[in-house]
Amino acid sequence: MNISTNKGKPLVSWQAVFSVIMFILMYLPIIVLGFYSFNQSPYSASWQGFTLDWYRKLLSDDRILSALQNSLIVAFCAVGVAAVLGTLMAVGLARYQFPGKRLYQGIAYLPLIIPDIAIAVATLVFLATFAIPLSIWTIVAAHVVFCLAYVGLVVSSRLTNLDPHLEEAALDLGATPVQAFLQVLLPQLMPGIVAGCLLAFVLSLDDFLIASFTAGSGSNTLPMEIFSRIRTGVKPDINALSILLILVSAIVAFIAESIRALGERK
């Protein structure tokens, strides 16, 4: 017993050291980024004092505000469409049998594993084939593709924990299939739907690659605006904007995971 205990101690200590190193490598760049976002110097390499001017500057930057507006329009529209289609897709795949179901299920979740560059190029080729002009709405259409897959995946995981006999009981009591879906199944799916929508919202808000391929003139999103500015050097205002994006993404992701975990306990 003592031998196994002594042998176990170095293993635990190495696990702790490895965990600390991993977290340092993951979060040290973010800490440095946040540190320099308060730098009074316009050049990130030298520290000249603490200031909040770069955060205040963001609120008066018309290009940043316009890009933020475009990002929010894209995210809300894409998530809204994906919420409806993704929920219906997940329910259909879980509750019904039809020819080619396995094939359809694999194709529906392909955007989860396909590289973003492949989705971006494929979407651009499709739009060019049908001579569809690029605009903010082509970004929305492209974002619906991967948002749909994420919403469907989260909702389908929620469906696996539900009792299908509740819908059958509602149908036996005289409810129509639509009434059973709206009054019995949908309220139970709501935590999964909300969690999936929040996750898809963060992914849409942070996307750069797909948006840059499908955006029209004057349709810059926030990540695209950031990229266009860092080509001339990283300034503290970009550091401040990046920190705000990281905070918003982390908060939304935490809320989504909390809602999903709470829904699974019920």
Domains and CATH numbers, the chain: 54-265 (1.10.3720.10)
Using an 8 Å Cβ cutoff, are 188 and 162 in contact? yes
Q: Which residues pair with 50 in a beta bridge?
A: 39
Q: Which residues pair with 39 in a beta bridge?
A: 50
d(CA 14, CA 20): 10
Q: Which residues of 207-226 are buried (b: 16+ CB within 10 A; e: fewer)?
A: bbbbbbbbbeeebbbbbbbb
Using an 8 Å Cβ cutoff, are 122 and 211 in contact? no
Give phi and psi for 50, each to the nearest 5.
-90, 140
Instruction: Give the model confidence (pLDDT) of 119-174 as tens digits.
Output: 999 999 999 999 999 999 999 999 999 999 999 998 988 888 777 777 778 777 77
Instruction: Give the model confidence (pLDDT) of 13-48 as tens digits.
Output: 788 888 888 888 888 888 888 888 888 877 656 777
The pLDDT assigned to 219 comes to: 85
Instruction: Give the model confidence (pLDDT) of 94-131 as tens digits.
Output: 888 888 888 888 888 888 888 889 999 999 999 999 99
The pLDDT assigned to 10 comes to: 53
* Prediction pTM value: 0.81
What is the residue whose two structure tokens read 């929010």?
72
What confidence category does residue 265 fall into, taking pLDDT thresholds of 50, 70 and 90? low
- Would you give the DSSP letter of residue 158? H
Residues 180-205 have a mean pLDDT of: 87
